[in-house]
Amino acid sequence: MRKYKLTMAISFFLSTLALTAVAETINVRMEAIESDLVIDNNGNKQAMWTFGGTVPGPLVRVKQGDTIEFTLSNSADNEESHSMDFHAAVVDVLDEFSAVQPGETKSFTFQADHPGVFIYHCGADSMAEHISRGMYGVIIVDPAEGYTEEFPQPDREYVLVQGDLFAPGTSAADRTMGNNWQNALINGKVFHYDPVHDTNASLTLEAEPGERVRIYFVNAMINEAAAFHPIAGIWERVWDNGNPKNVLYGMQTVEVGPAHGMIFDLLPPADRPTNNALVDHRMKHALNGAITVLMTYEGASSTKGKTDQLILR
């Protein structure tokens, strides 16, 4: 009995040591940029507000337990105040998440204690306008225990962020009420990865037959949920909020609310080439931009869905 207790104590000590030993401090700097951005596959532009000049902003990826030292700079050339709201942070909304005036810079620190896939977004007034003009992105917090049988290592990983596109010049009040809504954006563009509905689309997601394809899906739409479904497939597993403890099996359509994220795994057949259309099954969203084609075939790109190719630009 004593030996058992001692073993337990040692293994607890070692696991604590392992957790603390790998925790790192990560520096993340972003600049708020207000500029005209291409919002479809045809080169059309609209006045957007961004973190770092892209929609979505840069992907932040850390490990559970890591400390993030974040700095937001708001150029004096900008007209708006901006702020940063990391959904992976437990802090003070009036302190860390407060607005940064043009010409100012602000830093804060938080520890990423919960694993998962989280949105980050600007929370400056009017939040509806700042988010729907493109001020959002994704932070992935990988679980401290790494991959397990219940949370297996994927062969490919893609990040898909769904956002709104309103008619140019739409006021904050109209955006809040959903007026003048025009399109759904996937990673910043209408039908970004869908050459079927837009022949100008040059990108698709790719995988080899039989690979485990992991989608980090975040809904950045300000008012509406996304009903995420893989046409001609079934989500083999889904993790609500991307937390390995929140697993669902064999799902068809999963509702992802505004400002929420989930992990979706797809296992395409190993013995034939296949295609899936990853859609928001809400037809209003799908047919106005929220369809993504995943092509699975032998000889697929060896870089898409790997290392720095999680968000295809």
* 242 vs 159: CA distance, rounded Å: 12
Q: How many residues bind Cu ion (CB under 5 A)?
A: 5
Nearer to Cu ion, 33 or 68 (CB): 33
* 50 vs 71: CA distance, rounded Å: 15
Q: How far is CA 179 from the centre of its chain?
A: 25
Minimum distance, C-beta of residue 47 to Cu ion, in the bound complex (Å): 13
Binding mask 101-120 for Cu ion (x = CB under 5 A): --------------------
* 111 vs 25: CA distance, rounded Å: 9
Minimum distance, C-beta of residue 135 to Cu ion, in the bound complex (Å): 4
Nearer to Cu ion, 24 or 125 (CB): 125
Q: What is the dihedral of CA 32, 35, 38, 43, to 10 degrees?
A: -160
181-186 vs 45-51, strand pairing mode: unpaired
60-63 vs 136-142, strand pairing mode: parallel
Q: What is the dihedral of CA 19, 62, 277, 164, to 10 degrees?
A: 140
Helix (H) or strand (E) holding 245: none
Minimum distance, C-beta of residue 206 to Cu ion, in the bound complex (Å): 34
* 45 vs 168: CA distance, rounded Å: 10
Binding mask 125-164 for Cu ion (x = CB under 5 A): -----x----x-----------------------------
Using CB under 5 A, which of 124, 139, 222, 278 touches Cu ion? 124
Beta bridge partners of residue 291, listed in sequence order: 279
Nearer to Cu ion, 124 or 291 (CB): 124
Minimum distance, C-beta of residue 174 to Cu ion, in the bound complex (Å): 18
Q: Does 190 bind Cu ion (CB under 5 A)?
A: no
* 278 vs 256: CA distance, rounded Å: 14
E strand residue ranges, 6-155: 25-38, 45-51, 60-63, 67-74, 85-86, 105-111, 116-121, 136-142
Nearer to Cu ion, 100 or 186 (CB): 100
Contact 184, 165 (CB under 8 A): yes
Tokens 């001692």, residue?
A: 6
Nearer to Cu ion, 102 or 195 (CB): 102
Task: Give the tokens for residue 139.
Answer: 């932070």
Minimum distance, C-beta of residue 51 to Cu ion, in the bound complex (Å): 8
Minimum distance, C-beta of residue 192 to Cu ion, in the bound complex (Å): 22
Binding mask 70-99 for Cu ion (x = CB under 5 A): ------------x-----------------
Q: Which residue is nearest to Cu ion (CB)?
A: 122
Minimum distance, C-beta of residue 33 to Cu ion, in the bound complex (Å): 10
Nearer to Cu ion, 32 or 254 (CB): 32
Minimum distance, C-beta of residue 130 to Cu ion, in the bound complex (Å): 3
Minimum distance, C-beta of residue 107 to Cu ion, in the bound complex (Å): 17
Taking residue 129's Cβ as centre, other Cβ atoms within 10 Å add up to 22
Using CB under 5 A, which of 62, 89, 100, 122 touches Cu ion? 122
* 19 vs 17: CA distance, rounded Å: 5
Residues that bind Cu ion (CB under 5 A): 82, 122, 124, 130, 135
